[in-house]
Amino acid sequence: MKIAVMSDSHDNIWKLRKALGIIKSENCQKIIHCGDFVAPFMFKELEQAGIPVHCVFGNNDGDKHLLTRFALESNGLITLHSIIGEVDQDGFKIGFTHEWPVAQGLAASGKYHLVCFGHSHQYVLKHIKTTIVLNPGDIMGKDGDPGFCIFDIPSQNIQRIPI
């Protein structure tokens, strides 16, 4: 199973649409978004992709009430986990959040196979004990290198996809 991991889209609807097109063509079955959508209209784009999305709030997300309402009205396609999210995919445990200090704690717990985070807009791939720690970089392109990652669970292969 392939999972797309993204973060920090910051209202860049054009880059998000491009990423979603790639995600569909790669047959990803789930999307994890590590926060900073900013505006609720970004959820409409994610919903239209038709791929289940698990996400958390970031520090720049505006109207949390409206974001929550849009997620609840997505017919189950968008699951908003608040600050820390967790997905168990056939025994492969994934934890995700927005900021590094929380991700570091999740990884140090040893509970997860993969921990994802965002916030810094920089691609990071490392290990803490046996946990893979991944920041996919940003969708927005703040520093000129927009992209996301595709994680293949069986092979544990991680591919960074520029957009």
Read off the pLDDT of residues 16-40 as tens digits, 9 standing for 90 and up.
Answer: 999 999 999 999 999 999 999 999 9
Q: Is the pLDDT of residue 62 over 90?
A: no
- What's the structural domain count of the chain? 1
Closest to 34 in 3D by CA, of 153, 159, 148? 148
Please name which of 52, 51, 41, 57 lies closest in space to residue 7, comparing C-alpha atoms. 57
Q: pLDDT value at position 138?
A: 98
| pLDDT tens, residue by residue, 1-11 | 999 999 999 99
- Percent of the chain predicted with pLDDT > 90: 96
Give backbone dihedrals phi and psi of 67, rounded to 5 degrees, phi first.
-60, -45
- Mean pLDDT in residue range 82-96: 96
Q: Which of 162, 118, 103 lies closest to 8, judged by CA?
A: 118
Domain with 56 in it: what CATH number?
3.60.21.10
Supply the range of the domain harboring residue 107: 2-162
**DSSP for 6-34, written as a single string:** E---TT-HHHHHHHHHHHHHTT--EEEE-
